[in-house]
Amino acid sequence: MEYVKELLKDTPLKATPQRLAILKEIYEAGHIDLESIYKNLSNSFPSMSLATVYKNIHTLKKYGVIKELAISGSKSKYEIAKQKPHHHLICKVCGSVIDIEIDTSFLKKQLKDLKDFEVTNCDIYCYGICSRCKNKTSG
């Protein structure tokens, strides 16, 4: 619980048990959608209301504690924001998300000189099939 509490230290947000439980869920899952957070917590935290999850996702995103991954064709997933810069592999079959480090110096080079747009950050989503699903299909 201490790790997730740390995540709030630069924000005005209070460390309520509900909020910490939500953060812990995201932290442990790596990437998780809102409804799954709620369902998973319903066991360990029966009083948790869905509205609280919504409100927290909104607030945590607003303060940059978590980051939303908007995934084409399925629900958004959330991850802890403060991590080493990385991008994402997304399995088209099972929907799982895997972090990947990509050297983006080439990209920055290409974007630096745009004259009608000033880029601050890029998200790279790589779609394909994970080894687990691939083995199921071909095996």
Partner DNA sequence: ATAATTGCAAATTTTTTGCAGGTTC
Partner DNA sequence: GAACCTGCAAAAAATTTGCAATTAT
By CB under 7 A, name the binding residues for DNA.
Answer: 12-19, 34-35, 45, 47-52, 54-56, 58-59, 75
Decide if 54 contacts 34 (C-beta within 8 A).
yes
The token duo for 139 is: 């095996």
What's the min distance (Å) between Cβ of 82 and a second copy?
A: 17
Q: Confirm or reject binding of residue 81 to a second copy (CB under 8 A).
A: no
- Which of 4-12, 17-25, 31-39, 129-137 is the region at the interface with a second copy (rule: CB under 8 A)? 129-137
Question: Which range touches a second copy (CB under 8 A), out of 10-18, 19-27, 37-45, 119-127?
Answer: 119-127
Tell me whether residue 40 or residue 104 sits nearer to DNA (CB atom).
40
- Which is nearest to 97 in space by CA: 84, 79, 81? 79
Give the angle 125-84-133 at the CA atoms, nearest 5°. 40
Identify what 17 binds: DNA, a second copy, none; CB under 5 to 8 Å per kind: DNA
Query: Is 23 exposed, middle or buried, given 0-12, 13-18 or 19+ CB atoms closer than 10 A?
Result: buried
